Amino acid sequence: MGPPSLHVNKQANDLEETALWRGFFFALKSRFKVCCQLAMDDTPKAVSLSSPPLSPGRKRLYAAICLLLPVLAVAALEGGLRRAGLGGHAPVFKEVAEAPEGILYVTDINRARSYFFANRERPGYNAQHAFFLPKPAGTVRVLMVGGSAVKGYPQPRHLASSSFLQAMLSDVWPDREVEVLNLGTTAAASFPVMDMTIEALSSDPDLVIVYAGHNEFFGTYGVASRSRLAVLPTMIRFHRRLMGTALVQSLDRDFRQDREQEGKTLMEIMARQSYTAPDHWSRNAAARNVHHHVAQLIEACSELGIPVLVCTLPSNERDLAPLGEDQMNKQVHHLLDTVPAGMDDPEMRIMALRRALDAAPQAARIHYLLGRALFDQERHTEAAQHFVLARDYDPMPWRATTPIRNALLRAAHERGALLCDLEMAFRAASPGGSIGWELMDDHVHPSRDGQALIARTVIARLTEIDGPLHVTPEAYAALADDKTYAQRLGDNPYDRYGVQHQMRVLFNIPFMRTSNPEAFQRFERECRSFERTLSSDMQEIVRLWQSHRPHAGATRPITGMIARGLMRQHRFDEAIELLAIAQRAVPPYTSWHMEYVYFELACKAILHGGLSEADRARAAEVLAQGRILLAHGYSESGTAERYMGRIHQLRGEYADAIPYLQVARERFTEFDRVAVDQALFLSHIRTGQIEEARALAEFGVQHAGRYAAAYRRMQKQVEATDATGITAP
């Protein structure tokens, strides 16, 4: 202990500091008032023998001091708040730990959340990925960036385009280790995409794939519902920096009042208006911002010698009506009312729609209906033109428009980036050359087959370039078909149902159901059909899965929940298959991943009477990941400790399991606490700690309420152990 003079009473110190701050601000206020009066008052003053008049130079000096003092005060306040932990934004990648492979980094989802300053209760997210630096030798690392379409929504993680791309590139480059890091962020416009990508270049990627532009109107930092000045690129950057100051974050934390958003989807929250006129200024602003931000992204990559592949953006053209409501006069509405969908003569229907279009040439819905009528008559070229116009004139532009496509093409051409024309590739793979349900799950999100097509088209583009990323035409031609890759990655009926249910929810949003009632009916029909094939037990599990709120932007995999149900029915082989898929559906270095590995190994131990050497090695690998999680504060719920303990028990390491289970039991309640206590009780028995086992059982009998019966069974087991004298097998 140091000298007493160095030990200051904290309370007195705080009071003194408060008094100093109050005195400082009082003096600052008084001095500011006086100085401003002196600087601005040019009227003659009576001469005082004790106070000579101020010279003009001194007045200017006082004025400068008065102006400077508030700036210094704000700077001092900002510095103090920074020392208190406020200010700045979370990094894109967070350093976790040193490992034999290098320094482990994981995606920090709080970075994506920070852009959603207006929707903090329902922010967009990206998926967590892990990688090592320095990059291991022989590794090709690809960075995919953009919105939810590149993230893979509504497909599960293991069936996103990034997963297909990683599998396909691993086949064309069998001598390399391929890593695809997906930074796709729900509802992110081009500015957040650019901002995160530039920082993410620290991950040492070999290729950056840009898939951005759908969210330029309604995404965060999009142009909808903001003034012309606020959406200028310079103002967007200024706003971002302002939101990163400690002072703004402090005020925001203390005074914000979040709106009630319970039960609403992010899409509903972001869509603040249902009509954007075809000539509205925001349409040009959206294209301008895409060009500016994508061009800056390309420049940042070029400075580091990293090639960029800019993708055009496919959307549902043929099977999705415009989402917004056209503002049409009574005459146009009357003309449309005279065009029944079941009109016997198709040509008469086409003529009637053309008359309506003559009266309202920019009405998106009329263009769409005319496109459908022409498509049904196999006049595909004409139909495609009207589908594109319907998309471009959509009063609620959730789909990238032709000006945004042109902005992407221009940015790629001007900055020397590679171009991957996914829009044309999707059209070429679609009936009649117009994109529909075959490749899209909704308005902008590709289906499973669409995800595979993205990956395949990217690889086809790599056959046309030279250098280390070149793919030989022979290797490309040797790729398996999409169905084979889907099966390898874990395609299954439960995940397919999960996608259909998410689309059922999406198209049940009022404005979606109003504009596209057939889409809701389509997914409702598919879901009901699958639900009827399930047993009552499985139907209950499905309902439980539907009720789970997303955690960190991800929903618990339906495959993992179904697998638990299969385990209760002793259908262990089927459970193992689904648990292996569930592991691919969640990030590594998470308690979810650890949980699914544990249950897979538990099933194998039941079927085979124990773990094989390969299974034990797998368990050791997951335990090593778990130790990294726990050593760096990545567990608050106790779930990681719970499954660390359980995996140790599978390996027969009952003593090693005890510390983890003791921590876990303190963080659980109700049934989960009972399950952890049962595991802890087993470890006490197997290690001969009979008194600890007895105390645990007695405590549960007294305090577990409706679960007391489980602890009475433990008491009986302790008594049986005492009677036989056998404490461990």
Q: In the chain, what percentage of residues exceed pLDDT 90? A: 68
372 compared with 553, residue with greater pLDDT: 372
DSSP letters along 182-227, please? E---TTB-HHHHHHHHHHHGGG--SEEEEE--TTTTTSBT-STTS-
Helix (H, G, I), strand (E, B) or coil at 480: coil
Residue 544 pLDDT: 93
Residue 519 pLDDT: 97
221 compared with 553, residue with greater pLDDT: 221
Residue whose pair of structure tokens reads 């689904």 in the numeric block: 578
Residue 30 pLDDT: 54
* Residue 541 Cα to chain centre, angstroms: 25
Residue 91 pLDDT: 94
Strands ordered across the beta sheet of 177-182: 177-182, 139-146, 207-211, 308-311, 418-420
pLDDT tier at 4, thresholds 50, 70, 90: very low
* Residue 697 CB neighbours (<10 A): 24
pLDDT tier at 1, thresholds 50, 70, 90: very low
DSSP state of 440: B
Burial of 101 (0-12, 13-18, 19+ CB in 10 A): exposed
354-407 pLDDT per residue, tens: 998 998 999 999 999 999 999 999 999 999 999 999 999 999 999 999 999 999
Residue 342 pLDDT: 58
Nearest to 525 by CA among 553, 552, 501: 501
Residue 54 pLDDT: 67
Residue 9 pLDDT: 40
Q: Check whether 505 has a pLDDT greater than 60.
A: yes
Is residue 172 a contact partner of residue 475, using CB atoms and an 8 Å limit? yes
pLDDT tier at 269, thresholds 50, 70, 90: low
161-172 helix and 448-462 helix, angle to the nearest 10 degrees: 40
Helix (H, G, I), strand (E, B) or coil at 586: coil
Nearest to 711 by CA among 674, 679, 682: 674
| Alpha-carbon distances, residue 267 vs 188, 223, 404, 497, 518 (angstroms) | 12, 15, 20, 21, 19
| Alpha-carbon distances, residue 539 vs 184, 523, 530 (angstroms) | 32, 17, 10
515-529, 542-556, 577-591, range with the lowest pLDDT: 542-556
Q: Check whether 712 has a pLDDT greater than 90.
A: yes
Find which of 224-233, 320-329, 654-663 is predicted with most confidence, using mean pLDDT.
Answer: 654-663
Angle of CA points 94, 95, 99, to nearest 5°:
145
Burial of 591 (0-12, 13-18, 19+ CB in 10 A): buried
Q: Where along the chain do its domains lie?
A: 137-252+280-304+438-489, 317-398, 492-533, 538-724
Residue 729 pLDDT: 43
161-187 pLDDT per residue, tens: 999 999 999 999 999 999 999 999 999
| Cβ neighbours of residue 404 closer than 8 Å, sequence gap 6 or more | 213, 216, 286, 287, 290, 313
Residue 709 pLDDT: 95
Distance CA 452, CA 22 (A): 64
| Cross-strand partners of 95 | 105
Q: Check whether 220 has a pLDDT greater than 80.
A: yes
Phi, psi for residue 483 in degrees, rounded to 5: -65, -40
Helix (H, G, I), strand (E, B) or coil at 140: strand
Q: In the chain, what percentage of residues exceed pLDDT 70? A: 85
Residue 50 pLDDT: 55
45-59, 160-174, 590-604, range with the lowest pLDDT: 45-59
110-161 pLDDT per residue, tens: 899 898 877 666 777 889 999 999 999 999 999 999 999 999 999 999 999 9
Residue 268 pLDDT: 58
Q: Which fold has domain 317-398?
A: 1.25.40
Is residue 336 a contact partner of residue 356, using CB atoms and an 8 Å limit? yes
Q: Check whether 728 has a pLDDT greater than 50.
A: no
Long-range CB contacts for residues 629-632, cutoff 8 Å, separation at least 24: 629/589, 629/590, 629/591, 631/97, 632/96, 632/97
DSSP state of 430: S
* Residue 568 CB neighbours (<10 A): 10
What pTM did the predictor assign? 0.87
446 preceded by a cis bond (ω within 30 of 0): no
Q: Check whether 420 has a pLDDT greater than 50.
A: yes
Q: Check whether 338 has a pLDDT greater than 80.
A: no
Q: Which class is 137-252+280-304+438-489 in CATH? A: alpha beta
| Alpha-carbon distances, residue 124 vs 184, 187, 347, 553 (angstroms) | 10, 6, 46, 7
124-138, 307-321, 515-529, range with the lowest pLDDT: 124-138
Taken as a whole, the chain contains a residue count of: 729
64-75 pLDDT per residue, tens: 777 788 778 777
| Cross-strand partners of 107 | 93
Burial of 112 (0-12, 13-18, 19+ CB in 10 A): buried
**Structure-token pair, residue 560:** 């993992």
561-585 pLDDT per residue, tens: 999 999 999 999 999 999 999 999 9
Residue 272 pLDDT: 59
For the segment 456-468, the average pLDDT, to the nearest whole number, is 97
Residue whose pair of structure tokens reads 């509405």 in the numeric block: 333
**Virtual torsion, Cα 405, 241, 196, 421, nearest 10 deg:** 10
Rg (CA), the chain: 32
Q: Do domains 317-398 and 538-724 have the same CATH topology?
A: yes
Q: Which amino acid is at 161?
A: S
Distance CA 632, CA 722 (A): 41
pLDDT tier at 271, thresholds 50, 70, 90: low
Is residue 518 a contact partner of residue 453, using CB atoms and an 8 Å limit? no
The enclosing H or E element of 508 equals none
637-660 pLDDT per residue, tens: 899 999 999 999 999 999 999 999
Distance CA 272, CA 282 (A): 14
The enclosing H or E element of 105 equals strand 102-107
Strand 308-311 and strand 207-211: pairing?
A: parallel
b/e map of 166-178 (b: 16 or more CB within 10 Å)?
A: bbbbebbbeeeeb
Q: Does domain 538-724 have CATH number 3.30.420.40?
A: no
Residue 24 pLDDT: 43
Helix (H, G, I), strand (E, B) or coil at 31: helix
Burial of 139 (0-12, 13-18, 19+ CB in 10 A): middle
Distance CA 622, CA 595 (A): 10
Q: Check whether 52 has a pLDDT greater than 70.
A: no
Mean confidence (pLDDT) of the chain: 88
Residue 690 pLDDT: 94
DSSP state of 416: T
23-48 pLDDT per residue, tens: 444 544 554 554 455 445 555 444 44
* Residue 99 CB neighbours (<10 A): 12
pLDDT tier at 255, thresholds 50, 70, 90: low
Distance CA 265, CA 122 (A): 8
Handedness of CA 671, 674, 678, 680 (dihedral sign): positive
Nearest to 86 by CA among 209, 283, 322, 250: 250
**Structure-token pair, residue 519:** 């889409």
Is residue 312 a contact partner of residue 420, using CB atoms and an 8 Å limit? yes
Find which of 46-60, 351-365, 537-551, 644-658 is predicted with most confidence, using mean pLDDT.
Answer: 644-658
Q: Check whether 82 has a pLDDT greater than 80.
A: no
Residue 18 pLDDT: 42
Expressed in percent and rounded to 5, the helix, strand and coil fractions of the chain are 60, 5, 35
